[in-house]
Amino acid sequence: MNLQCDITLPASKSESNRALMIAAYGGFEPVFQNLSDSKDTLAIKKALSCLPFIDSRQRTNPCRNDIKGKQQTIDIADCGTAARFLTTYLACHEGDWLLTGTQRMRQRPMAPLVEALRALDADIQYVEQEGFLPLRIIGKPLAGGKVTLDMTQSSQFASSLVMAAPIFPNGLELDLIGDLSSLPYLDMTLGMMCHFSAQAERQGRRVVVKPKPYQSKPFAIEPDWTAASYWYEMAAFSEECEIRLKGLGGPSALRQAQGSGTACLQGDAIIAEWMAQLGVGIFAEGEDLVLRKIPFEKHPLHFDFSQHPDLYPTMAATCAGLHMEAHFTGLENLTLKESDRVEAMQTELSKLDQQPLQFCAHNDHRIAMALAPLSMLFGPATFDHPEVVEKSYPNFWKDASFLPIF
């Protein structure tokens, strides 16, 4: 298949989610360009709009006086980011909160964050199973201080804590223990905090945040590099291609993608470096990146997903489609995502010799989008729940309408 298309990628939900939380802690209206319309971001935006306090000075939103003194339920459905980020936000804002979610969300870990918050004098109880949602949170102002956090299961625990720290009178000294998984996401958080005038830095396993309030500033949210990975996959499967990813490029972004710069906040820009080994080259044209085929040699490859777990489904599908031998490491936390992504991809890739392809999305947006391009090589495919892509890339099926998906 020859591909020629111009693609406007969705805005980064990771940046969008952090921007909304920073604005909430700062007590200012968001002034953001290109806010994500993903299900995850909409969940955080909706939850924040329902909360009675809108800034660190505990100023009451007059539109929400009717709920004062009552326990309020915040249901974040299957949004793991919202669960982690809102736990800290609720813990340091006065109120009686019940934070809950879907059955799958109730299986995803919360204990490291809860333990760290309790060490900072937060009042949080498990309502059902120890270590998991639902949580009852009795919110109150927190002073901050020194605390230890295990990052092994998720970097979102650390991001959640540090984003609140500028409103703590004592700031925060956070010592990170365990495996430093998904560290680029924590560095993204710190970079965005500094953009909004916070004073925060990480030196190895220690993060220090001073009690310096956020300031409102415009912020342009970048296109999503994880979403771009599915177009790299389609480029790898094409015979020839010219796929223009609009707004993703410029020389600085090109250098970042090639591992020689730091312009991009998103660690998943490494997809460009990885996919170059599978025959996909990138070329900067103005503010766009253009994907084209380049020569490559087939030989065993190695990819470590400990810092880039969301790229695993894409790389697994691409290597399977190209019959490439590849060794994957850093898969431990993939069992804790929307699905057990290792098991899900093994199950679905075992179907490639079947016709027609009948894929199960495993209620996981990244599984569905990674599997879809395989229809370019193996023929028409169906999905049980194609709507799961709304979690991060609502227009995916529209943008990829040329794929034989039924």
- Give catalytic residue positions: 310
DSSP-derived pairing of the beta strands 357-359 and 71-75: unpaired
Q: Which residue has the tokens 């540090």?
A: 162
CA distance 90 to 138: 8
CB contact at 8 A, 150 and 178: yes
Burial (CB count within 10 angstroms: exposed 0-12, middle 13-18, buried 19+), residue 258: middle
CA distance 13 to 266: 11
